[in-house]
Amino acid sequence: MNQWKTYVLLALTTSIWGTAFIAGKYAIQDFEPMTIAFFRFFGASIILLPLLFIKNSWPTHITKKDWMLFIVLGLTGIFLYNFAFFMASKHAPVIKSSLFIAANPIVITILSGIFLKEVITKYQIIGLISAIIGVFYIIINGQFSQFFSLGFQYIDGILLLAVVSWALYTVVGKVVLQKYSPLVSTTFACIIGSIILFPFALWETSWADIKGASMVTWVWIIELAVIVTVISFLMWYNGVKKVGAAKAGLFINVMPVSAVLMAAIFLGEELTIHHLLGAIFVLGGVLIGTKKGNQAANVETLKNVKDGKLG
């Protein structure tokens, strides 16, 4: 039951991330990519840092290796990923951006198997394939010609950077979580990422830009900082810690589904039967990759107990 609670929270987390596509479209009208990312994570840091002290969670013995891992988290998941994501919000169609983001679970699964030695079951692979088919079908809205008409552009390299950066953030985060809590890991990643982003934001933004930004833009930036970052990042790392990076990565496929729904609600885009069919494939794939994978893991655990390898 506790594991299913984790799965529900992971699905909720990636659903919340779907709103980032909408927030990015609004915020990019007033600010450049680095500035949006800085405001997002600086705002998150202002909330997370006092929370560390309130919960008496500030780590006392941080080694040089730990600092390097925290820097990698800030560099990949905060700086590089968000630079690429908001650049895509400005220069790439949502179809192309979503297709690249849908590749994230594949990269996470591969890296988890190589570096974390996580066991990847056949059910996870089947679930992953089903979910990606669903995401692909949703994004192209059943029109396969849309995919072939996208072509390769320079922004594709930026989107590829986003995919690799988030996969590294997730996999390295699993290593950090062996010693530190999700709160500590997220806080240090946000603070370090904000420090890296600050000079870029300072360079591309003027005080006039800040004063001229609309209230709508500020509302979406606050939503990015509080809901998409503080709340959902903590839930994400909590899920990664409990079920592993590869299995948690399956739930990223929920994000494009959420983005499509959010676009219909906030941007007035049309929902079609293709979206619903694709969503069925996505949800079915996630269910296969989790439930069946758990059964396989339980069989392996019972076998180990019987053989005297556990206990």
Q: Could you report the per-residue pLDDT of 184-238, keeping only the tens digit for each?
A: 999 999 999 999 999 999 999 999 999 999 999 999 999 999 999 999 999 999 9
Q: Is 263 within the bounds of a domain?
A: yes
Q: Is 115 a member of any domain?
A: yes
pLDDT per residue as tens digits for the range 53-103 = 998 888 888 999 999 999 999 999 999 999 888 887 777 666 556 666 767
Q: How far, in Å, CA of 55 to CA of 67, rounded? A: 21
140-179 confidence digits (pLDDT tens): 666 666 555 555 566 667 878 888 899 999 999 999 999 9
Per the CB < 8 A criterion, the answer to whether 10 and 108 are in contact is no
Tell me if 242 is assigned to some domain. Answer: yes
Residue 262 covered by a domain = yes
Exposed / middle / buried, residue 64 (Cβ in 10 Å: 0-12, 13-18, 19+): exposed
Q: Is residue 311 part of a domain?
A: no
- Identity of the amino acid at 194: S
Structural domain tally of the chain?
A: 1
pTM over 0.75: yes
Which domain, by its residues, includes 280? 2-306
Asked if the structure places residue 78 within a domain, the reply is yes
Length of the chain: 311
107 SS3 class: helix
What is the phi/psi pair of residue 142, to 5°? 75, 0
Cα–Cα nearest to 228, from 258, 200, 198: 258
CB 249 within 8 A of CB 67: no
CB 85 within 8 A of CB 158: no
Cα–Cα distance, 136 to 120 (Å, whole number): 23
Task: Provide the token pair at 65.
Answer: 């290796």
